[in-house]
Amino acid sequence: MKKLLTGNEGIALGAYEAGVSYASAYPGTPSTEILENISAYKGEIIAEWASNEKVALENAIGASIAGARTLAAMKHVGVNVAADPLFTFAYTGVNGGLVLISADDPGLHSSQNEQDNRNYAKFAKLAMLEPSNSQESKDMVKAALDISEKFDTPVLLRMTTRVCHGKTLVEEGERIAQTKKPYVKNLQKFDAVPAVAKRLHVVVEERLKTLEDFSNNTELNYVEFNDKKIGIVAAGVAYQYAKEVFGDKASYFKVGFSYPMPMNKIREFASQVEKLYVIEELEPFMEEQIKASGIQCTGKELIPRVGELNPDIIAEAILGEKREVIEYDKELVVGRPPTLCAGCPHRGFFVELAKKKNVMITGDIGCYALGGMDPLYAKDTCICMGASISMGHGAQKVFNKFNENMRTVSVIGDSTFFHTGINSLISAVYNKSNTVVCILDNRITGMTGHQENPGTGYTLQGEETSIIDIEALVKAVGVEHVKTVNPLNLEEVRETLNKAMELDEVSVIITRWPCVLKRKSEADKKEFGDKFSKCVVSDKCVGCRACVRTGCPSLHYDKDTKKVTIDKNQCVGCEVCKQVCPVKAISKVGE
C-alpha cells in the first residue's frame, strides 16, 4: 500500500521497518516530526526526547553498543552540540547499526545559520546518504543501518527542509524481525583512550577506502542517460529541481551515497557528456571533490552559494531563462513579521524588561527570541542554544572591569535551560557573576510545536514522569536569590527585576505560566486555572496606544476613530493591556 508522507514521516516508517529498537532526539525544525512519528510505534521502539542533541546521540550510542539498531535525529545546528561524541564514535564503530539524521535548513526558514552538514561526513570520516524524496527517506534509513553494520560505522543521513516537509508517495513494507546483537565487553574497540584511538584511526582510514569502493558500486548512486550535451551531478532535493528544469534534455548522475564520493563512477559519467554541471545547495561539497579529482565541471561559478535553491534559480543560472511569475503590486503587500501570540506569557515580562535602562539583554533560542522585535526591542543578542547565560556573564565581567554602568539580563526558556543553560548557570555561579538570569517557563517546548521536556511531567510517549523543579535545581547549583513570578502580573515582574538588578551576585527570576496555545494538563488547570475570558475597550479610550505598544496582535488602533479595539477572536484575557492603560479604559469580561 502507498501513502502520501513527508520525508520526516518516511524516516519514521523506515526506522520501524528496519527494526530500530531505540531512538532519541532533541526537537528542532525541520527534524522535529521524525521522533514524534517514531513515538507512535510504542512497544516496538523506545522513543525519547533527550535534554539536548549531545545527550540524544550518546543515548543512541549506548543503545548501539548494547547491540540494538538505533537512530538519533536533530536539526543541523544540533549536530554541532553532538559533535563531541560523533567524532569519537566514528573511530570506534558500532555494534548495532546507528544512523544520525541531520536535518539541514538551506534558506534559514527556522534557524540562525544555514551551515552545510555534509561537511561533517568528511570531517568525522562517516558514511553519508542523501534522500531526495519521502520514499528514499524511508528506504535510506534501512540502507543506512545495513551499511552501518556491514562497515562498522555510524552513518549520517542528511535531510533538508524541503525533503523533511515535502510530501511524496511512499510504499509501505514489512518490518524486519527485530534482533539485538549480543553485548561483548571490548575495551580495544569502545574504550577510546589515546592508545586505543591511535590504532582505531588507522582502521577508520582503511574503512573509508572500503566505503569508497562501495560508493562506486552501490545502486544508491545511479546514472540516467538522456541527451548527453548536458550532464548533471546532483543529490537530495537539488536532483528534483534539476529534473524539473532540464527534463530529458540532460543526463543525470543521481548521488544517494554521497560520502565517500563515487569518483570513479562520476569520472566515467563525465567522459560521456559534453558539459558537466554540479548542482547542490550551499557549499561546493561535491564540486570541490570532483575538481580535485581532475574532472572538469561547473558549479558555484553559476549556482548560488547562499540560500535555498529552486527550479527558477537553476534555470536562470545555467540556461539564462528567467521564468515568468505572477506580477503584483508589492507596495500593497503588508509586511507580517513574526510576533508573540496574543496572550503569550512572555509579553508581560518583556514589557517591563524593555523599560530598563543601561541593560544588555542576551537572548536565546525559542519563542522569546521574538522579544527583540518591534515594538518591544527587549533583546540585544541571540547566538545559540544556552548561550544567553554564558554571554551575559562574560559581558557583565567586562562592564564591571571597566566600571561601566551596565547590567546584563540573560533570557532563556525552560527547555533551552535544560538543554545547555544549566552548565552556563553553574559557570556563572562558580565565577562569582552578578548577572540577572531570567528563565521563562511556559510549561512546554513552545517554538517547535509543544514537545514535552524534563519540566512538563510527561515523556515523548505519553508516560507520566518526574517534573524537574527549576527553582529547586537553580538553588542546588548555588544561586541564593531565586524568585518565581507570574509574568502576566506586571507589578510583580517590575519589582522582582528591580530587586535583582540591585544585587551584586547571580540572581534568577523564573516566570511561570503556560503557553497560550498549550493544551492544559490537569496539573496545569489546578495550578493556573482554566477560565475563559476576554478584555474589552470602553469609550474612555483616548487613543494613546500604550496598549498597542505591548505588541499584542489582538489590539487594533483605528486611525479614523483614534481609538483601540480588541479582536475577541484572538484575546484570551491576559490583562497585560489592561495593566498598561493609563486611563483604565480596558476591562475584563467573561470570568
pLDDT digits (tens, 9 = 90+) for 293-303: 999 999 999 99
Could you tell me the fold of the domain covering 222-319? Answer: Rossmann fold (3.40.50)
pLDDT over 70 at 131, yes or no = yes
Give the per-residue pLDDT at 532.
Answer: 75
Count how many Cα atoms sit within 13 Å of the Cα of residue 290 in the half-sphere of its side chain: 29
Place of cell 582510514: 205
Mean pLDDT to the nearest integer, 234-262: 96
pLDDT tens string 524-582: 888 998 877 899 999 999 999 999 999 999 999 999 999 999 999 999 999 999 999 99
Give the per-residue pLDDT at 520.
Answer: 86
Q: How far apart are CA 157 and CA 143, in angstroms?
A: 10
pLDDT band at 269 (very low <50, low <70, confident <90, very high): very high
The amino acid at 299: G
pLDDT over 90 percentage in the chain: 90
Q: Which residues are registered as beta bridge partners of 255?
A: 235
Q: Which residues are registered as beta bridge partners of 279?
A: 234
CATH of domain 534-589: 3.30.70.20
Task: Name the strands in the sheet holding 70-75, side by side, starting at the edge strand that comes first in the sequence.
Answer: 46-49, 22-25, 70-75, 98-104, 155-160, 127-129, 257-259
Maximum distance among all alpha carbons in the chain?
A: 80
Q: How far apart are CA 230 and CA 241, in angstroms?
A: 15
Mean pLDDT to the nearest integer, 479-503: 96
Q: Can you give the residue ranges of every domain in the chain?
A: 2-215, 222-319, 345-528, 534-589
Cell of 475: 538553588
Task: Domain 345-528: give its CATH superfamily.
Answer: Thiamin diphosphate (ThDP)-binding fold, Pyr/PP domains (3.40.50.970)
pLDDT tens string 202-223: 999 999 999 999 999 999 999 9
pLDDT tens string 456-469: 999 999 999 999 99
pLDDT band at 418 (very low <50, low <70, confident <90, very high): very high
pLDDT tens string 312-325: 999 999 999 888 88
Q: How far apart are CA 250 and CA 384, in angstroms?
A: 42
Q: How far apart are CA 523 and CA 543, in angstroms?
A: 40
- For the entire predicted model, the pTM comes to 0.91
CATH code matching the domain that covers 2-215, chosen among 3.40.50.1820, 3.10.28.10, 3.40.50.970, 3.40.640.10: 3.40.50.970
The overall average pLDDT reported for the chain is 94
Give the per-residue pLDDT at 591.
Answer: 55
> Do 222-319 and 2-215 have the same topology in CATH?
yes
pLDDT tens string 62-75: 999 999 999 999 99
Give the per-residue pLDDT at 323.
Answer: 84
Strands 407-413 vs 359-362: parallel, antiparallel or unpaired:
parallel
pLDDT over 80 at 54, yes or no = yes
Q: How far apart are CA 187 and CA 250, in angstroms?
A: 52
pLDDT over 90 at 37, yes or no = yes
Q: How far apart are CA 237 and CA 259, in angstroms?
A: 17
pLDDT tens string 86-119: 999 999 999 999 999 999 998 888 889 999 999 9
Mean pLDDT to the nearest integer, 394-418: 95
pLDDT over 90 at 235, yes or no = yes
Q: How far apart are CA 252 and CA 247, in angstroms?
A: 10
Beta strand segments in 376-522, E: 407-413, 436-441, 481-485, 507-512
In contact, 548 and 581? CB cutoff 8 Å: no
Measured CA to CA in angstroms, residue 145 lies from 19, 131, 175, 526 at distances of: 9, 14, 14, 46
Q: How far apart are CA 214 and CA 205, in angstroms?
A: 15
Q: How far apart are CA 64 and CA 19, in angstroms?
A: 13
3-state SS of 241-283? HHHHHHHHHCEEEEECEEECCCHHHHHHHHCCCCEEEEECCCC
Give the per-residue pLDDT at 335.
Answer: 82
